[in-house]
Homo-oligomer: A and B are copies of this chain.
Amino acid sequence: MLKVFSFKDSDGSHLDKNLRGLIDRRKRVLGPAYQLFYSSPLHLVKGAGAVVWDAEGRSYLDLYNNVPSVGHCHPRVLAAMQEQASAINTHTRYLHEKVVNYAERLLATMPAVLSNAMFTCTASEANDLALRIARDYTGGTGVIVTSYAYHGITSAVAEVSPSMGDYVPIGRDVRVVPAPRQNTGSSEQVGKIFAEEVKAAIKEMRRYGVKPAALLLDTIFHSDGILTDPPGFLAEAVRVFRQEGGLFIADEVQPGFGRTGKTMWGFERHDVIPDIVTMGKPMGNGHPMGGLAIKANVLDKFAHNAAYFNTFGGNPVSAAVGLAVLDVIRDEGLMANAELVGEYLKVGLQSYATECSHLGEIRGSGLFIGVDIVNNNGEDDPEAAKRLVEDLRENGALIGVTGPSASVLKIRPPLCLSKEQATSFLSIFDGSLKRCFAEG
């Protein structure tokens, strides 16, 4: 099971009657699969930019949610949605200009060789489709992922998501490799170690008669702990895997759409061109959209023989929303903002780390930052990370945790977070640090 700060029923006695009532009703109808963040779950009713409000009118700086990536309730995105939804919403078996415009605009942000786009409603569906195509193209079934990867929730994709926990089996033809955790050394050095792991996994796979199909990687390794540096370390592993006839699928759900600041896509930081790029979360700023970009020659056989139709995927409303998101990223300079404010946040966090020994390594690119929380012996400290996240929530700031032991702070705000908001966050963070790590 993914490690999240889950409300436990036994925690509920401190909650007010209304909240408790809503939680009880929710539990009755949604059942036990649905989890809630925080020991006092948040009832959010309003959002704007990088701020959200709860039902009592309390505001929170949102440094967690990457889905409303251009800002909660962005007026341009809302207007585009409403305009198209008022005209018509159909599917891709009729012609519509917007899905064509959107595919052209989206592909223009990528290397030209990624010349075809396909649309789904979620990134799970996009990764599922990417695996179907990769297996068809290569004739293989073997997939390599990192040991704490998360790629989604369909049957096929849950099998390549070891972070789902022991109860959800990894697929028989799937092999896991340690994520490139080393943050020092040249990209060649780190890349070589990672490539050796991939090489060993291929050898082991082959020993079982399994032919490689896909190396599937989140290019920011967010569930493995947010592993951003040194840029370039992916290239050698991709080269090795391709030599064996397999494809490289870049899962851009987390780093994509400008989050890392300098580049639109995570794979660009590593100077590799994927065979398939999968996308989701921020693509529609909350509107359910996913998709993939793919080399035409990789798609060709599958497309001609198996076809693909996704009822809602690529509908005119989704296309209008997707176009508006791309417009806002460009017109509001959100990539430059992510770079600037991300760097500012990182420097601020670093300054606290020099004073507080419980802040370990700080990694990140643009507005995706990970901070290791460690105990006095320098070991991962998930309990302390949890205390920090809970204290921040109590004091008006939302972040998350990630990593194999849930001890890495995950700071991943909407891309419009301003420097002033970052300053406010740092000040709240300072207070939380002092409360959570007060000696005695």
| Chain A residues at the B interface, C-beta cutoff of 8 Å | 1-2, 4, 19, 22-23, 25-26, 28-37, 41-47, 52, 65, 67-68, 72-73, 78, 81-82, 85-97, 99-100, 103-104, 107, 115-118, 120-125, 128-129, 131-132, 153-156, 158, 164-165, 167-168, 280-281, 286-289, 294, 296, 299-300, 302-315, 317-318
Contacts of A308 in B (CB 8 A): 33-34, 153
Contact present for A306 and B122 (CB under 8 Å):
no
Q: A30-B117, A306-B164 are contacts. A67–B91 as well, Cβ < 8 Å?
A: yes
A401 CB to nearest chain B CB (Å): 13
Contacts of A115 in B (CB 8 A): 28-29, 31
Q: A288-B121, A288-B288 are contacts. A73–B95 as well, Cβ < 8 Å?
A: no
- Alpha-carbon distance between A82 and B44 when the two chains are bound, in angstroms: 17
- Alpha-carbon distance between A435 and B155 when the two chains are bound, in angstroms: 49
Contact present for B128 and A47 (CB under 8 Å):
no
- Look across to chain B and name the residue whose beta carbon is closest to the beta carbon of A52: B88
Contact present for A82 and B92 (CB under 8 Å):
no
- Alpha-carbon distance between A410 and B37 when the two chains are bound, in angstroms: 46
Contact present for A94 and B154 (CB under 8 Å):
no
- Alpha-carbon distance between A13 and B262 when the two chains are bound, in angstroms: 46
- Look across to chain B and name the residue whose beta carbon is closest to the beta carbon of A30: B103
Contact present for B88 and A73 (CB under 8 Å):
yes
- Alpha-carbon distance between A66 and B65 when the two chains are bound, in angstroms: 34
- Alpha-carbon distance between A289 and B122 when the two chains are bound, in angstroms: 11
Contact present for B42 and A94 (CB under 8 Å):
yes
Contact present for A32 and B303 (CB under 8 Å):
yes
Among B47, B81, B131, B311, which residue has its beta carbon within 8 angstroms of that of A280? B311
Contacts of A309 in B (CB 8 A): 2, 34-35, 153
Contacts of A68 in B (CB 8 A): 89
A157 CB to nearest chain B CB (Å): 8
Contact present for B73 and A1 (CB under 8 Å):
no
